[in-house]
Amino acid sequence: MPKSAAEILLPRTYKEIWKRGEEYVDKGKVETDKKFAAEDKVKAYVHGKEKYTVVLQLTKTGVIKQCDCAYSLGGPLSRPACKHMVAAAIYWDEARRINRPSKKDISSHTIAPAPISRQGIINLFKNPLKADLDKVRIVSEYSAWSPQPHARLPNSPKINSDSRKPLKIIEVKKAMLEMEKWTRRSLYDQYFCAGEMSAAFCELLDTIKKRMDRTEPREIILIMALCVAWFYGKFNRLIDGIEGVWIFPPVRIGSIVSILLKRYPRQPAWKEFRAVVRIAGERAGQKNLGAKAIADWVKERLKINH
């Protein structure tokens, strides 16, 4: 009895992707290359937005799969199957009189949904101030072609979150020092830990915001100056922010500073704040941490992901 290509692909495919592959077959959007067919190998064409070419080859231990779509092209062999591969496998099986997997088998054997989808990643950048930090923590893992083992970091550095207590700059410095120590862990990875570092910095900023009402104006303004300086001088050197996770802390910094400017517009500490920000930015090769620069970057990021 011939091997079922669909059955082999089933545990290598996300459930949602499997269903979309079935739809291609049901709508008659799959055809095979008659000149390129064998008992253990097939070449198929799947008609979606474009015409995609799929090659499947059965082996003693599984299946070798190829597709020229953007999802699969250039990815590792271990990458889950795309919808075009699923469509080709089902179509090939049925041409060989092999029934497709049942709904029960699909529910039981496909890969569980990823914690965050590509659209979910895009949505994070649409409103970075309100982004779900648990999703920010895993952005790099689900953006990468091949995740690697890496250190798991705490959700937040140790700092009192009691909104009734005034905040001191020394507390924030200790929290930042703790985060710097995280990067010395044996499995710390600048790329794969970037989301966790960004989320932890955001948690720290949320605590600062929670405690700022009881904090002296000069103290809280200098704390925010410290946050900007640490962002430029340390944070961006501790991570590989190519996936854009660096964007979330400065959006929070900007939000807090905006509140403080409205609340204490004539506070003398602003002179010190601006000096610290200017020096930190110049050392990092940046002229400012302005809202426009951040907004422009987010727009470009969303355009790339679309």
pLDDT digits (tens, 9 = 90+) for 102-156: 999 998 898 877 677 777 888 888 888 899 998 898 888 776 655 577 888 999 9
Sheet holding 30-38, edge to edge: 30-38, 41-47, 51-58, 63-67
pTM for this model (two decimals): 0.63
CB crowding 180-200: b at 16 or more within 10 Å, else e:
eebbeeeebbbbbbbbbbbbb
Mean pLDDT of the chain: 86
- Distance in Å from the first CA to the final CA of the chain: 44
pLDDT at residue 301, rounded to an integer: 46
- The rounded distance, in Å, linking the Cα atoms of 25 and 91 is 6
- Residue 114's CB is within 10 A of a number of other CB atoms, namely 14
- The rounded distance, in Å, linking the Cα atoms of 66 and 245 is 31
Hey, what are 72's tokens? 């699969």
What percentage of the chain carries pLDDT values higher than 90? 55
Is the C-alpha dihedral spanning 246, 248, 253, 258 positive or negative? positive
Q: Is the pLDDT of residue 223 over 80?
A: yes
CB 179, CB 157: distance < 8 Å: yes
CB 112, CB 11: distance < 8 Å: no
**What's the Rg (C-alpha) of the chain?**
25
pLDDT at residue 126, rounded to an integer: 84
Asked which of 34-43, 47-56, 204-213, 266-275 is least confident by mean pLDDT, the reply is 34-43
Q: How many CA atoms lie within 13 A of 10 on its CB side?
A: 17
Q: Is the pLDDT of residue 255 over 60?
A: yes
- Residue 16's CB is within 10 A of a number of other CB atoms, namely 14
